[in-house]
Structure 1
Amino acid sequence: MGISNEKERMRQILSVFFNHGIKRGFRGENLPVGLRESFEELGSTFIKIGQILSTRSDLLPDTFTTELQKLQDNVQPETYTDIIKVIEDAFGKPVGEMFLWFDREPLATASIAQVHLACLRDNTKVAVKIRRPMVEQSMMSDIAILKRLAGFARHTPQYNMIDFQKIIGELEISAKKELDFLNEAENIRTFQRNNRDVKFITSPAIFEEYTSDSVLVIGYVDGIKISDKKKLDEEGYDRSEICIKLANNYFKQIFEDGFFHADPHPGNVFVSEGKIVYIDFGMMGTLKDPMKRKFNSFLYAFVSADPDEMSRAVRSICIQNGPLDMQSFKADIESIYNEYIENTLVDLNLRKLIGDVLIICRNNHLTMPGEITMLTKGIITIESILEELAPDVKIMDILIPYFRNQMIKNIDIKEELSEYMMSLYLSARSLPKVSRQIVKTINNLSTGKAKIQMEHTNLEQPLDRLNHMVNRLVFAIIIASMILGSSMMAGMEAGPRLHGVSVIALIGYFVAVLMGLWMIVLIIRSDRKKK
């Protein structure tokens, strides 16, 4: 886009916003509607911005996010001629050599791509996803303009409330991923690897020879939309069973795989031949181990009824954009805790809890990282499917046991005991130092004119005695820890076993007995020396 075209586009963007009432500032009941209409009028890039913002309750009030969720890809389909040209340019041969037939009318049309039904030469029915001509150049140009506008936004009062540059940065990353269909193909492959042992989850096959950055050919899914209750009932499906499997697998994607479908709405989830089928892998969420641990800490704090730990966990997850009053923030988190603690976890309104936490973050100049907003959006979407499909299935009934099992599975008993014993040992070893410091302090005391000079004789002997006592205490703690650890291991199924008892546990007991006997010998020797 030339300089003159860029200026013209910028004028158009500003004109559309002003025409829809944005000039009134962040006020007015009609402003959310005006913002949505502006995004729809300005096309692909702005529709994507709106879709990102619709998930960001930590950035915008509910009136805005609710309105932006109504955003539709109301775009006209590309002409058949233009679509065919994209395909032939991508693979360097006529469409007729690749397909027996190719439907002229699109199955679906969106801002970035459209999908056509076709049939390969071997009679395999496929869905062909084609990127719109020039959409990549158009979106990148709009994003460049938005970056400039975001620079001007620094000087507005709203900048402290919304980090425009961060939003545009997230949009750019998201757009680049969605525009490259090779990225989507890799997402499908990763998803298939992660779920290869899950018999009730599947996704479309990829036809590698017909995959490029602008065209993606996958197996056609002739299934039932997961929200179509009537059709599911007619086909004899158990809706409750579907919901339980759907939620369990989604939590697996998050907590085990760290790679999850970022947009599991009913249009992207089908039921076919007894399996749940995911489609549209353009945008996936990733949760790396450090962030996974932080998110787990928040859930664990909530399940454990610990509002202080909840505050710390939320703070560790978020990005701070302004001054943070920790006392006020903790009070806000505690108010949420007090509101929900009266309910049982099973009856918890997860959607409202997440919404309340995001509002508190926004009010305290904190924003959630992109992967967490994707995650919360995904969980809320799954919960809404459950509520619609099988109201008797509660998402918390599935989440809490799953989460607890994950916590137990991830506990490294050896590491936990090692850290615990080391902590106790170091604490106990510090006691003689404390005693000596007390003696030193008393020795140096002075008050007023009077000087207190304390003379001590034979103090080394009591200190040595204290040292022996501390050593015995540490020894006893280590023995007790080994017995405790061995008892825990004895009840586990892991590792080799002898007569039904863990070999590791038996070794632990044996070492504890030897240490105990050695301690008795030392005590007897010590007593004889005193005599």
Structure 2
Amino acid sequence: MRSTGDASKYPNWCHATIRATYVLSVIGAVILVAVARLSLAGFRTNVSYWEWLGRLITYVFCRLGGAFTKVGQVASTRYDVLPAPLLKQMQIIQDHVPPFGSGIARSIIANAFNRPIESVFQYFDDTPIASGTVAQIHYAIGHDGQELAVKVRRPGIEELFRIDAYLLRKLAAIAAAMPFYRSAPVIETASEIGDLLHGQTDFTTEARWQRLFRDSLARIPGLIVPRTVDDLCSGEVLTMEFLPGLHRLDDVSLPSTARRHAMLTTLRAIYVLIFREGLIHCDLHPGNIYLVICGDPVLLDFGFCGQMKERERRLFSEFFLCIAMNDSERAAKIVLEMAVAPPSPIFDEQAFRREIKEVVHEASGKRARNFLIGDFVLKLFGVQRRWSLRASSGFSQPLLSLLVFEGILRGLYPDLDFQREALPFVLADEYEQETEPLAAPCSNL
């Protein structure tokens, strides 16, 4: 899968040394505590141990800040690498930090476009609408009278992310030498996360992803991706149209019909992206999906995105069709075809295929309300881990994207049928036919 970029491996050594000293001291203390608790349990792990460790890691990542907040958020979706009880605790990692000064924001904008901010915007609100680890967003009005949302990168965050990505790779190399982690793809995972971190700080790349997603989803009525203002975008500033009156996806003041409609439209959009375009939004948590009052969903934040290779897209689409059609034999072959880690010396291909076939057969036989992407993904990745195999990111990332979105769906639209909604898209790809257009959303509420 093509990633968002390639972070530099060589940060400022002075800054890196200071940061490394702090990070290593904190992580070292955590390792000592974790090993001590594990030794008291006779080096046997159970659900309570992983839950405790997940809470500890969550606290540490939030304390370290910088890229580690993002690393924690990404790692909390990696059910193909880490135990589920640990990841469940890590899903509460938040990305909220105090805003930086408006004078700094104005200076960043002026420097980005080499002119005074008054010539960039007719009006610029000094009070940010939102603030996170990477950036904060301000309301502005362009000289043409258009209302705008201006995303300004936090000063110093690019260098901090570069340092943290470098440290993450070094820590992964150390972990990979330990017996417990030798079969886990820790180095590859660290490298992948490092690339994703680079994409979070490069707003030129993010604007390009946003335009690509907007174009790819133009056929879906009611699905909104804000239009970027290209001549007001740079590596540090991303300007887009301002959408007033947005509501969080879990806002209980909205009619239930509006929220259910938003869920269905967003799920179909995800299927269009994955099965037709090979595009993956890796960060579809509730903070990146909003609603306008009639229930039309708005997708935001395109820093964590990727694109499957054509072969990966076709195989993944075929794999989903195999689940729906209970073709467990072909599904097992696809899983093996898309594995990137070499099998261990004791790998038994026939036994591996039998286990995969059992997982697929069980999923295919379930009624819609009983089929859970989460359960299926955990069992599928569990088989791969037992045989020391790792799926390519072009196979694992679409599943993990669906897994994250399913967590939202189950709370707001528990009866939505994942498999039935996917079928028109995978069949259209299989037979190169067009699906029927979706109904205009707001008109039928």
TM-score (norm 1): 0.71
User: Are 1:400 and 2:410 matched, yes or no?
Assistant: no
22 and 305 in structure 1: CA distance in 2 versus 1, 3 angstrom threshold? farther
Q: CA offset at residue 88 of structure 1?
A: 1.3
Q: Which amino acid aligns with 1:83?
A: A
Q: Residue 232 in 1 paired to residue 254 in 2?
A: yes
| CA-to-aligned-CA distance 1:433-486 (integer Å, 9 cap, x gap) | xxxxxxxxxxxxxxxxxxxxxxxxxxxxxxxxxxxxxxxxxxxxxxxxxxxxxx
State the number of aligned residues: 409
The equivalent of 2:236 in structure 1 is: 214
Counterpart of 1:409 in structure 2 is 432
Counterpart AA for 1:294: L
CA drift of 1:381 comes to 3.4
| TM superposition shift of 1:229 | 5.5
Aligned match for 1:314, one of 335, 349, 352: 335
Comparing 147-156 with 69-78, which one deviates more in the overlay? Answer: 147-156
Q: CA deviation at 1:273?
A: 6.8
Q: Does 1:37 pair with 2:47? A: no
Three-state SS of the structure 2 residue aligned to 1:343 is: coil
What amino acid is aligned across from residue 327 of structure 2 in structure 1?
A: D
1:381 to 399, 404, 422: 404
**Structure 2 unaligned regions, length at least 5:** 1-10, 39-48, 435-445
For the residues of structure 1 that align with 2:53 and 2:376, how far apart are their CA atoms?
26
Counterpart CA distance in 2 for 1:112 and 1:382 is 23
CA drift of 1:205 comes to 1.9
Give the counterpart letter for 2:405 in structure 1. I
Correspondences of 1:96-495 after superposition (within 5 Å): 96-225=118-247, 227-228=249-250, 230-233=252-255, 238-272=258-292, 274=294, 275-320=296-341, 323=344, 324-344=347-367, 347-409=370-432
Distance 1:142 1:238, change over 3 A: closer
Read off the aligned partner of 2:313 and give its amino acid letter: K
Please tell me whether the aligned partners of residues 246 and 276 of structure 1 are also in contact (alpha carbons under 8 angstroms).
yes
The Cα of 1:337 is off from its aligned counterpart by 3.7
Aligned residue for 1:427?
none
Secondary structure at the aligned position of 1:117 is classed as: strand
CA contact (8 A) 2:324 2:419 kept: no
Structure 1 counterpart of 2:28, from 11, 18, 43: 18
Q: Work out whether residues 22 and 35 of structure 1, in 8 Å CA contact, stay in contact via their aligned partners in 2.
A: no
The unaligned stretches of length 5 or more in structure 1 are 412-531
Code of the aligned partner of 2:66: S
Name the aligned partner's letter for residue 335 of structure 2: V
Task: State the partner residue of 2:6.
Answer: none
Aligned residue in 2 for 1:474: none
Q: Which residue of 1 aligns with 2:70?
A: 48
Paired with 1:229 and 1:179, the residues of 2 have a C-alpha distance of 29
Contact 1:125–1:220 at 8 Å: present in 2 too? yes
Measured in 1, the distance between the counterparts of 2:87 and 2:357 equals: 25
Secondary structure of the structure 2 residue equivalent to 1:20:
helix
Mapped partners of 1:283, 1:154: distance in 2: 25
CA spacing shift, 1:63–1:273, aligned 2, 3 Å: closer
Residue 246 of structure 2 contacts residue 290 of structure 2 at CA under 8 Å; is this kept in 1? yes
How far has the Cα of 1:190 moved from its partner? 1.4
Q: Which residue matches 1:514?
A: none
1:365 offset after TM fit, Å? 1.2
Give distance in 1, aligned partners of 2:402 and 2:363.
19
Q: CA deviation at 1:380?
A: 2.4
Instruction: Give the aligned partner of residue 437 of structure 2.
Output: none
| One-letter identity of the residue aligned with 1:334 | K
- Could you tell me which of 8, 30, 33 is aligned with 2:18? 8
Distance in 1, matches of 2:301 and 2:54, equals 28
CA contact (8 A) 1:22 1:34 kept: no
Amino acid aligned to 1:252 = V
CA change 1:139–1:388 in 2 (3 A) is same
Distance 2:422 2:298 in 1: 21
